[in-house]
Structure 1
Amino acid sequence: MTDISKPYRMMALNNAWANATLYGAMTPMEAAVFAAPRPGFFASLKATMNHIHQVDLFYIDALEEGGVGRGVYDRPLIANVADLASAQAEADMRLARLCSALSAATLAQTRQTMRPDGPCVETVEALLLHLFQHQIHHRGQAHVQLQEAGVSPPQLDEFYLDFDRAPSAEAYFNRPA
C-alpha cells in the first residue's frame, strides 16, 4: 500500500528545515538590519519573512477548516528575528502534522478561503501544492536579501538526496510518519 501522505509530509518537513536553516543565518541580525530596505518583492527581510509566515497561517487555517484565513493579514508584523522564527517553526509543525494525516480522500476534499471578492473553494491538494510553491518562491527572495545584507546565505536545497543531504536535514528526513 502506498503512503499517499509521504510526498506532502516530506515537503512540509523540507519547508520546516529550510525555514529553520534560513532563520539560523538571520539570528545574529539586529532589528534595524532585519528591517532595512532590500531589493525584492517585499522591501526587507522583515517584510518577506512576515509575508511567508502570514500566508502559511492563512492556508493552514483554511486546511484545518478554521476561520478560513480571516484576520491573518491584520496582525502586526513581528519585528524580532527570534520571535518570528519561533512563530514560523510553530506554523511549520502544524503543517507537517496536517500533511502526516493526509489520505487520498482528504486530498480530494475542498476547503474554502476568504478572498477580497468573497469565498473561494479549492481542493486540499491544490492548496498544499500552492503553499509549498509560495514558500519556495519567497524563501529564494529572502536568500538574495540575506546576501545583500552581507550575510552568507545558507544552502536550502540539500534535503532529499543522500548524495548531498545536509547533516541538519537528517533529523527531519528520518522522522517517523
Structure 2
Amino acid sequence: MVDTGYCVEMARYNAWQNRQIKAALKTLTEADLTCDRGAVFGSILGTLNHVLWADTAWMARFTGGAPPRVGLEESPDFTDGPGAWEIARFRRDAAILHWAERLRNVELGGTLSWTSAATGRTETKSRALCVVHMFNHQTHHRGQVHAMLSQAGAVPPVSDLAFMPEGAGIP
C-alpha cells in the first residue's frame, strides 16, 4: 500500500538524485549537455527538462497548481539552459518534498482525472497509482541520464535507493 511514508522517502530520493546529477553536470560543457545522444528526449538536458516538466504537470494535478506552460513535445526545452534547469529543479524538488511531508494518507485514496498530454484523452486512475507513476517516471528517465552521463565522460551518481544517506534529499 502506498502511504505518506513512501511519498516522503521517494521525494527525498528524488532530491538526492537530482543534487548528485547537478554535480555531475558541472563537469561537462553545455555542448556535452545538449548533444543529441539518441535518447527519447535527445540530450542529457532535454531528458532532465522532460522530467522537470512531468513533475510540474503531476504536482499541478495533485495540488491544483499551475500546469507547465508548454506541452509534452516542448518538454525537452522546458528551461533555457543548465543554470535555469538547476534553479527550477531545486525549487520543484523542494515543492515535492513539502507536498509529501504535509500529505495525509486519506489524500492518496480515490481517483484522479486529467487530460493526458501523452494520449490526448481524459484519464482516470487511482490517485496512489499516479503518485507511484510520478516517482517511477523520475527514476526511469534518470536511468537514461545516468547512461548519457557515462557516454559524455562524467562520473554518474550513485543511484541505489538502499544507499541513500540519512538526511539526504533535504534541499
Normalised-by-shorter TM-score class: 0.7 to 0.9
Q: What's the secondary structure of 2:166's corresponding residue? A: helix
Once the two structures are superposed, residues 5-28 of structure 1 have per-residue CA deviations (whole angstroms, 9 ceiling, x without a partner) of 111111111111101111111023
Please report the RMSD computed on the Cα atoms of aligned residues, expressed in angstroms.
Answer: 2.1
Whether contact under 8 Å (1:57, 1:72) holds in the other structure is no
Counterpart of 1:170, as a letter, is E
SS at structure 1 position matched to 2:167? helix
Deviation at 1:70, TM superposition (A): 6.0
In the other structure, the counterpart of 1:91 is 92
Residue ranges of structure 1 left out of the alignment (5+ in a row): none
Measure the CA separation in 1 of the matches of 2:80 and 2:22: 13
Task: Report the CA distance between 1:135 and its aligned residue.
Answer: 0.4
Structure showing greater Rg: 1
**TM-score for the superposition, normalised by structure 2:** 0.84
> What is the number of equivalent residue pairs in this alignment?
163
For residues 43-99 of structure 1, the C-alpha deviation after alignment (integer angstroms, 9 at most, x for no partner) is 1111111111101101011000235x4634257432422220220121111111111
Report the equivalent of 2:140: 137
Name stretches of at least 5 consecutive residues in structure 2 with no aligned partner. none
Verify the 8 A CA contact 1:34 1:44 in the aligned structure 2. yes
One-letter amino acid matched to 1:40: A
**1:104 & 1:77 partners in 2: Cα distance?**
32
- Equivalent residues in 2 for 1:98-109, closer than 5 Å: 98-109=99-110
Which gives a bigger RCO, structure 1 or 2 (Cα 8 Å, sep 6+)?
Answer: 2
1:170 to 148, 166, 170: 166
- 1:100 Cα shift? 1.4
TM-superposition CA deviations, 1:120-157 (whole Å, max 9, x none): 22332111100111000000000000110111111121
